Amino acid sequence: MTRRQISLILLVILALAAAYYYYGGHSTPKGQPALVSFSSGDVTPLKTAFNSSASSVRVLVMLSPT
């Protein structure tokens, strides 16, 4: 295989992974609460979901690309 073919294959795999991520659906297993979506302007849903489980262990992870 040439370097160009390998690059093309990797690009196709990346495009398929991105399509699956955005259009593959976001569901949760049975028994688990639904996913909570929020924007940077309104974190009320996150705060409500976080505070509603005060009797259990909670972990909040924030990731940044920089």
Q: What is the pLDDT of residue 37?
A: 67
Q: What is the pLDDT of residue 32?
A: 82
- The residues, ordered by sequence, that sit 6+ positions from 49 with a Cβ below 8 Å of its Cβ are 33, 36
Q: What is the pLDDT of residue 16?
A: 94
C-beta separation of 38 from 44 below 8 A: yes
Kindly give the confidence (pLDDT) of every residue in the chain, 66 residues in length, as a single tens digit, with 9 standing for 90 and above.
Answer: 899 999 999 999 999 998 888 887 677 788 887 776 677 787 787 788 788 877 888 887 888 887
The CA distance from 22 to 15, in Å, is: 11
Question: What are the start-end ranges of the E strands in 1-66?
Answer: none
Q: What is the pLDDT of residue 9?
A: 96
